[in-house]
Structure 1
Amino acid sequence: MNSPVLTIAGKEFRDRLRNRWVVAVTLVFAAFAFTISYFGAATQGSVGVQGTEATIQSLVSLVIYLVPLIALILGFDTVVGERERGSLDLLLALPVSRIQLLLGKYLGLASTLAVATILGFGAAGGLILTQLPASAWFHYVGFMLSTLLLGLVFLSVAVAISVMAQDRAQASGMAIFVWFLFVLVYDLLLLGLLVMSGGDIAGPAFPYLMLLNPADVFRILNIFGPDDLRLMFGLTSLFPPALASPWVLGAVMLGWVSTPLLLAIWRFRQ
């Protein structure tokens, strides 16, 4: 007998399949991955796949803008939308707890995002890596997993927003604010802080400030060496190697996934 969580997750996933969410997002990921990978070096006067590092660095810039936005759109009305449609009370009248309901919905949305990410970037990667050595798959698979983690972070944030918002309009406004904050504004604030302090702030606390932005953690996870570090994103050149371990950064991303979700569960139970 299926658990209530899996039953709700399956229903949420099937609903997304019926309204073509999975297909649409998969095609978007695949199309952008093909385009960025093949034409990413056009400004340097060349086209085609340029190697694992260049390919992934080009895709990282795309992912940071696109994946958080899609995850926020996917999850911002998870709860508040049900409340506005009047179906939330009906769901809560079923023999399921609030925690089971919220976890089921989150797992269903996470499955949608996972399938779209793996199929979209995997299809592009399959063709891209035919022109690269087999060892390139290791880095590309790591890139896909970190992309999925980034999406799950913002999906958790979206679910927390959906629980706390009073209506869909407020939820959408909060989601847009979160996207601007983490994708566009946060690093500008750090740079401003660095410049205003004359570099004094670039001490032991500075790397930990970067860990407060999952987009920065994602960037660092997909950087291959010190030269790439400085060329791709200047702030990460201040990041100590001890914190740059994939295991450490992966644990930070998992913390980012779980914290907003736990907050959503706590608020939904009130």
Structure 2
Amino acid sequence: MNSMGQPMAFFVPLLGLGIAYNSIVGERESGSIKLALGLPNSRRDIVFGKFIGRSIVLAVAILTAFLVVAVIALLTYESFAAVEFVLYTVMTVFYGLVYVAIGIGFSSTVNSQPTALAGATGLYVLFQLGWDAVTAVLQTVTVGWVPPESGPPDWVILVYVLNPTAAMEYATQAIIPEFDAITAYPASDAFYLQEWVGFPILAAWLLLPLGFGYRTFARMEIR
């Protein structure tokens, strides 16, 4: 898990956004979306069908990679925590589906492939770098660069946890306590900042972009 944590955090979002950002806008620009809608398919079928298809592609890629890692671990380590490994694999797939949903939701709302590419790139930078920078600025402005012994204010921690990557860390810690040994994140006694909060945040990032993308796509004029 220690070896896989950072690659997972950086590459899974990249793969999820990469296979999803062009899924709908690309077909709109090529005109193939008209053929799909000419068949007994609704726009809801298009959006959620793309999500299911891209999710399967990403899940297969993740499961294949983790299978290779499992084989290497079995051959090189004296023991293998199979339950924790399986749970971490499931969480990683779920994490990937979140970014597929974000990419498809964004692809459903824009009108050109360059805009979709720029948006996917911007979202990746935001979630991987920009979010931490914003959180650091908020902390510096409110309590200083070095937080007090009691930790940053709860609302600053909440802003941090709203990032899908941070939410993934919290959710994983909720089901794999050993994950805490390789992960450092702000702690709080507030009930809404415990490890379980990662699950509803990830679910929101999965459902809201898909829902918003579908509603926007449903109102678009297809030319």
Same fold (TM over 0.5): yes
Tell me which interval the TM-score lies in, with the shorter structure as reference length.
0.7 to 0.9
Equivalent residue of 2:186, what SS?
A: helix
- Say whether the 8 Å CA contact 1:79–1:159 is kept in structure 2: yes
Alpha-carbon distance in structure 2 between the residues aligned to 1:127 and 1:146: 20
Residue 228 of structure 1 pairs with residue 173 of structure 2: no
Map 1:78-227; keep pairs closer than 5 Å.
78-130=23-75, 131-134=77-80, 136-198=81-143, 199=147, 202-223=152-173, 224=177
Displacement after TM superposition at 1:211 (Å): 2.7
Query: Structure 1's 240 and 61: CA in aligned 2 closer, same or farther, altered over 3 A?
Result: farther
Q: Quick one: distance in 2 between partners of 1:220 and 1:151? A: 16
Work out whether residues 194 and 202 of structure 1, in 8 Å CA contact, stay in contact via their aligned partners in 2.
yes
Structure 1, 137-146 or 174-183: larger mean CA deviation: 137-146
Q: Which moved more, 1:65-74 or 1:117-126?
A: 117-126
TM-score by length of 2: 0.84
Unaligned runs of 5+ in 1: 1-55
| Partner in structure 2 of residue 268 of structure 1 | 217
Gap change, CA 1:140 and 1:183, over 3 Å in 2: same
Which of 3, 14, 18 is residue 73 of structure 1 equivalent to?
18
Distance in 1 (alpha carbons) for counterparts of 2:179 and 2:89: 22
The TM-score with structure 1 as length reference comes to: 0.70
Within the candidate set 46, 61, 66, 2:6 is matched to 61
- Following the alignment from structure 1 to structure 2, what is the Cα–Cα distance between the partners of residues 110 and 132? 34
How far off is 1:191 after superposition? 1.4
Query: 1:67 Cα shift?
Result: 0.7
Partners of 1:72 and 1:132 in 2: how far apart?
37
Which of structures 1 and 2 has the larger relative contact order (alpha carbons within 8 angstroms, sep 6+)?
2
Distance 1:240 1:226, change over 3 A: farther
- Against the structure 1 CA distance between its residues 254 and 126, is the aligned structure 2 distance closer, same or farther, given a 3 Å change threshold? farther
Q: Matched residue of 2:61: which SS?
A: helix
- What residue ranges of structure 2 are gaps of 5+ in the alignment? none
Q: Per the alignment, in what secondary structure is the counterpart of residue 237 of structure 1?
A: coil
Preserved contact between residue 167 and residue 197 of structure 2 (Cα < 8 Å): no
Q: How many residues align?
A: 209
Please tell me the root mean square deviation across aligned C-alpha atoms, in Å. 2.3
| Aligned counterpart, 2:208 | 259
Residue pair 2:138, 2:156 contacting (<8 A) in 1 also: no
**CA deviation vs aligned residue, 1:84-112 (integer Å, no higher than 9, x gap):** 11111111111111101211111011011
1:188 Cα offset (Å): 1.7
Task: Provide the rounded CA distance (Å) in 2 between the counterparts of 1:141 and 1:239.
Answer: 28
8 Å contact kept, 1:57–1:222: no
Give the counterpart letter for 1:216 in structure 2. A
C-alpha displacement of 1:239: 4.2
Q: State yes or no: 1:237 paired with 2:194.
A: no
